[in-house]
């Protein structure tokens, strides 16, 4: 999912910070919009990366391909519509990542295909990794495994007994994710979906920018 080369890691740092910060901010923003002010009271309703990034989690992402941000605390009982609130808050993080990737693709294609600017290797790498990391971050968090966002979406549609069983998987989540990382399983999920989303974004922006070409 993430590279080990030093220059690659440096170029990827902006993408990781943006992906993690906006992901958590989106959770906080939607939770507040749904009636829970816990994120505001805990200082998470901000775009400041320092409020969202766990230094160890970021380091682990850079060197071990597996990490985490500081989770946003929410109180679903404060939502005006609990089920709707839980689903929207869970989807907000990955949604923010996909939106950032969509914008990153627009910037890349506008600069290179409309403005015909020859980007330096460094700038091209930074922009490309913002695109890739945000797409991968969004897909990864939609995996229906606690405590990832996908599990929270799924739980909203399960019976209490099924919710209990799914929540029970959280004690094994770290081990399961490690197995995903050291086997082809995660790549088999991420790579095709990531390529599909990138192609979709490129097609959309290609159609938009065709009026300038």
Chain-centre distance for alpha carbon 172: 22
Alpha carbon separation from 159 to 12, 86, 129, 168 (Å, rounded)? 41, 15, 39, 14
User: Could you confirm whether 24 is annotated as catalytic?
Assistant: yes
Q: Which of 24, 86, 161, 170 is catalytic?
A: 24
Burial 169-196 (b: 16+ CB within 10 A, else e): eeeeeeeebeebeeeeebeeebeebbee
Q: What's the maximum distance between 2 C-alpha atoms anywhere in the chain? A: 57
Phi/psi at 16 (nearest 5 deg)? -70, -45
Could you say which DSSP state residue 134 is in? H
Q: Which helix (H) or strand (E) holds 34?
A: none
Residues with catalytic roles: 24
């Amino acid at each position: 999912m993430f590279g080990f080369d030093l220059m690659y890691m440096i170029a990827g740092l902006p993408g990781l910070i943006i992906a993690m910060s906006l992901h958590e901010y989106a959770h906080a923003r939607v939770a507040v919009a749904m009636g829970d002010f816990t994120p505001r009271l805990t200082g998470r309703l901000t775009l400041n990366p320092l409020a969202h990034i766990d230094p160890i989690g970021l380091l682990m992402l850079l060197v071990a391909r597996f990490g985490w941000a500081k989770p946003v605390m929410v109180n679903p009982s404060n939502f005006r519509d609990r089920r709707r609130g839980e689903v929207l808050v869970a989807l907000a993080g990955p949604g923010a990542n996909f939106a950032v990737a969509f914008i990153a693709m627009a910037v890349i294609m506008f600069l290179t295909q409309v403005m015909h600017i020859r980007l330096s290797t460094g700038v091209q790498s930074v922009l490309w990794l913002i695109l890739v990391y945000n797409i991968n971050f969004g897909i990864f968090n939609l995996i229906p495994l606690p405590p990832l966002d996908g599990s929270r979406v799924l739980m909203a549609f399960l019976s209490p007994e099924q919710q209990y069983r799914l929540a029970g998987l959280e004690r094994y989540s770290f081990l399961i994710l490690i197995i995903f990382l050291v086997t082809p399983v995660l790549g088999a999920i991420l790579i095709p979906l990531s390529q599909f989303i990138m192609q979709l974004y490129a097609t959309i922006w290609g159609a938009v920018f065709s009026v300038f070409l």
